[in-house]
Amino acid sequence: MRMQKEEKIVVVLLLMALGSLAVAFWAFGPGEREPYGASSSGSQKGASDSGLSVEGMVLEIKPTRSGGNLILKLDSTPLPIFIPAAAGTDRISNMVHPGDRVRIKGKASMFQGYEEIRVDRADDIVCLN
């Protein structure tokens, strides 16, 4: 029993699709990677299981849409800094302003598929001005 021309084409296309999926899984699949921005030069210090530390100038402070949380953006890292309301956002918003230089200790975490730095205590944010 010989395969017809159309059947051969279908088999070749299926093999090509499987090969593409294998390459995509290898390139984009889960693996051991450093947190984004953790190894870049600048004022970031190394990441470990206990957390990481970043230092830089505050570019933006904005509240989240709900929950009373804050998001900080620093000039030294592309990662947003998430501060939950339980960490004392009132105290932090009175202490830190755009243009201030800060040192922040936090943990790398994921939110909706994006990496961020999560701060659990107001004492983990030090204003260097």
Contact (Cβ atoms closer than 8 angstroms) between residue 93 and residue 127: no
State whether residue 109 is helix, strand or coil: strand
Asked if 56 and 27 sit in the same domain, the reply is: no
The stretch 65-84 carries a mean pLDDT of: 91
Which CATH number fits the domain that encloses residue 108? 2.40.50.140
Please state the domain count of the chain.
2
Asked if 26 and 60 sit in the same domain, the reply is: no
Q: How far apart are CA 47 and CA 52, in angstroms?
A: 4
With respect to residue 46, please indicate whether it lies within any of the assigned structural domains.
Answer: no
With respect to residue 45, please indicate whether it lies within any of the assigned structural domains.
Answer: no
Instruction: Give the per-residue pLDDT at 14.
Output: 96
The mean-pLDDT minimum among 14-18, 40-44, 74-78, 93-97 falls in 40-44
With respect to residue 64, please indicate whether it lies within any of the assigned structural domains.
Answer: yes
pTM: 0.60
Domain of residue 9 covers 1-31
Residue 42: which region, alpha, beta or left (left: phi > 0; alpha: psi -120 to 50)? left
Higher pLDDT, 61 or 30: 61
Question: What is the token pair recorded at 124?
Answer: 């983990």
Question: What is the token pair recorded at 106?
Answer: 């936090």
- Beta strand 52-63 pairing with 114-118: unpaired
Higher pLDDT, 83 or 37: 83
